[in-house]
Amino acid sequence: MSPLDETSARRPRVFSGIQPSGTLHLGNYLGAVKNWVAMQETHECVYCAVDLHAITVRQVRAELRRNTIDLVNLFLASGVDPERSIVFVQSHVPAHSELMWILNTITYMGELRRMTQFKDKTAGAEGESIAVGLFDYPVLMAADILLYRADAVPVGEDQKQHVELTRDLAERFNNAFGKAFVVPEPIIKEGGARVMSLDDPAKKMSKSAGSESSYIAVMDAPDVVRRKIRRAVTDSGSEVRGGPDKPSLTNLLDIYAALSGDAIADIEARYSGKGYADFKSDLAEVIVDALAPIQARIRELEADKSYTLGVLKTGAERAEAIAQRTLAKVRERVGLVPRP
Ligand code: TYM
């Protein structure tokens, strides 16, 4: 019996998702996927390519399709095991959109307006021309999580506020209509939870950031990684150490530590008396070595698309089974007449 069948003894369950909205970078890997892989040892895991979230920003059709499959390939190549975990595409399970509607009826405009990501994404835009989907995006995220009765949600720091909204909505629904949802906890791992831009350590590493040199893409070739790290901004002084006065070095040390598993203090000690150049050239090799096996496996998966499609077919079926049970309970709690 699959460990994810509803009848098996329940380990704590996690749900997490990533948008297939462009180039995948080291922030996504360290902030999310790397932890997802580790959590398979202790949790039942449900991992999703959230394509309905991606379309809150206009996408090019062919690119969205390709990015969605590329993202799933990254999950698989990084070590997400579809025998143990459910891997699927959000739009394949319509229950996400249905639950979102029901949650919309208990969500306040005020709380959505306070979401910092919404504020960032719409800074300078006129209210008249902001898409409702962008505003409502956190409610879809809440639906994703609550449908699977997830106990925990591993994410990077930037998603914490959305998980908190999810908790509020779950509690509000349970109090108003009777218990239907598990109230989930965010899990934010220290190392890698906030990978910053290589150009500007005040900004998070992001695929939407203007310049390509600000992020390391998962598929970057070794020479590209080396060049980007060589050019990454550093702080004044020459000492390899972290700290509030050294935001750039702190970021580079975090990346080194998260990928190598070494403690920051050990890395600092190793480079004491050496300059930035030595540290940077070793960091580049740490990144190249970490990405090489993932890139190789992605190439294999790209050569045989049927494997990934098979994973998604089974994943959608397994996800749907869980989602429909939650949705049936929610409908009953709200007073919707069951379909005869
Ligand atoms: P998204 O697609 O922007 O990012 C996916 C994951 O990567 C993390 N992340 C980072 N972590 C560290 N440093 C960075 N620079 C960095 N950039 C991104 C994010 O925190 C996230 O964990 N709304 C979500 C997707 C989503 C979701 C969900 C997540 C939809 N439904 C349900 C969890 C549960 C988003 O836009 O993430």
Asked if residue 191 has its Cβ within 6 Å of ligand 1, the reply is no
Range 161-168 average pLDDT: 98
Report the 10 Å Cβ neighbour count for 293.
12
Asked if residue 15 has its Cβ within 6 Å of ligand 1, the reply is yes
Res. 124 pLDDT band, cuts 50 70 90: confident
Range 264-283 average pLDDT: 95
End-to-end CA gap in the chain: 31
Query: pLDDT by residue (tens digit) across 215-261?
Result: 999 999 999 999 999 999 999 999 999 999 999 999 999 999 999 99
- According to the per-residue pLDDT averaged within each range, which of 9-13, 31-35, 191-195, 327-331 is highest? 327-331
Asked if residue 134 has its Cβ within 6 Å of ligand 1, the reply is no
Question: Distances from the Cα of 149 to the Cαs of 18, 53, 93, 198, in angstroms?
Answer: 18, 20, 15, 37
Q: Which helix (H) or strand (E) holds 290?
A: helix 276-303
- The three-class DSSP label of residue 89 is strand
Asked if residue 27 has its Cβ within 6 Å of ligand 1, the reply is yes
Which residue stretches of 45-94 are H helix? 51-54, 61-78
Res. 126 pLDDT band, cuts 50 70 90: confident
Range 89-96 average pLDDT: 98
Q: Is the pLDDT of residue 334 over 50?
A: yes
What average pLDDT is seen over the chain? Answer: 93
Range 166-194 average pLDDT: 93
Quote the pTM value: 0.93
Percent of residues, the chain, with pLDDT higher than 90: 84
* pLDDT at site 209: 66
**Best mutation site among 145, 155, 218, 250 for ligand 1 pocket (most ligand atoms within 8 Å of CB):** 155
Give the span between the Cα atoms of 161 and 105, in whole angstroms.
Answer: 20
CATH of domain 13-193+305-334: 3.40.50.620
- Which amino acid, one-letter code, is at 20? P
Asked if residue 50 has its Cβ within 6 Å of ligand 1, the reply is yes
**Best mutation site among 18, 134, 188 for ligand 1 pocket (most ligand atoms within 8 Å of CB):** 18
Q: Is the pLDDT of residue 7 over 60?
A: no
Q: Whose CA is nearest to atom 36 of ligand 1?
A: 19
* pLDDT at site 309: 98
Range 117-132 average pLDDT: 84
- Closest-CA residue to 218 (of 187, 250, 259): 259
Residue 339 Cα to ligand 1 middle (Å): 36
Residues 6 or more apart whose CB falls under 8 angstroms from that of 166 comprise: 138, 141, 142, 145, 146, 153, 184
Give the span between the Cα atoms of 45 and 36, in whole angstroms.
Answer: 8
Q: What is the architecture of the domain spanning 212-299?
A: Orthogonal Bundle (1.10)
Q: Is the pLDDT of residue 210 over 80?
A: no
- Which amino acid, one-letter code, is at 122? T
Domain ranges for the chain: 13-193+305-334, 212-299
Q: What is the DSSP string of 142-186?
A: HHHHHHTT-SEEE--GGGHHHHHHHHHHHHHHHHHH------PEE
Q: Is the pLDDT of residue 8 over 70?
A: no
Q: Is the pLDDT of residue 173 over 50?
A: yes
* pLDDT at site 123: 85
Asked if residue 215 has its Cβ within 6 Å of ligand 1, the reply is no
Enzyme catalytic residues: 121, 204, 207
- What atom of ligand 1 comes closest to residue 159's alpha carbon? 20
Residue 28 Cα to ligand 1 middle (Å): 7
Q: Whose CA is nearest to atom 26 of ligand 1?
A: 17
